[in-house]
Chains A and B, each alone.
Chain A
């Protein structure tokens, strides 16, 4: 069983569209994250949720709206997509203690044309 799964793996869409990426973890973790990896491979945190509550919002444009229906799911909705949104988006989860590792999904490669 995949620990952290996100769908879709690839997403190609036109500018101005709205799209969603889904993430689910079956590890029983309380904390989930969204990271963005740009073309230079730099992995930057976007959001963190703990028990469905937003903990970290790293100055991400309002067009990005995470939603956590329960602690096993953290979805990312993006409105009015722009060319600069093209990147690989990773979902991750961890226990809510600092001395533990994060588990990542396989990533969603978003291409905005």
Chain B
């Protein structure tokens, strides 16, 4: 069955450093990969989408890579700030218009001042 794995342990980094989160998947060939941010007590909020034929996508301090050979996506936050502390979710989707988003379990990032 389809499986998505993210760093199960929390990631603690110092303010100003680059945070790198990993998303690995098996038994799936997604057409699209998305990253969401979730704060405590809130719903996930969309950050970035990358297509299977794209290697890299950037948005401000965020960068996502997508390696369909390794079946892996890396999510980077450069110049991290305490406000970046949250849980980050990776999600996969196929090419069907009515397909579902399959989520990983998320990685909690803590940025310390």
Contact bitstring A83-96, B, C-beta under 8 A = 1, else 0: 00000001010001
Task: Please determine whether A42 and B103 come into contact, CB atoms closer than 8 angstroms.
Answer: yes
A48 contacts across to B, CB distance below 8 A: 98, 100
Size category of the B interface is 20 to 34
Task: Please determine whether B89 and A104 come into contact, CB atoms closer than 8 angstroms.
Answer: no
Size category of the A interface is 20 to 34
Task: Please determine whether B43 and A107 come into contact, CB atoms closer than 8 angstroms.
Answer: yes
Task: Please determine whether B45 and A104 come into contact, CB atoms closer than 8 angstroms.
Answer: yes
In the complex, whether A13 has a CB less than 8 A from a CB of chain B is no
Which of A's residues lie within 8 Å of B, judged by CB? 4, 31, 33, 35, 40-45, 48, 50, 55-56, 58, 90, 92, 96-107
Which of B's residues lie within 8 Å of A, judged by CB? 31-32, 34, 41-46, 49, 51, 87, 89, 93-103, 105-106
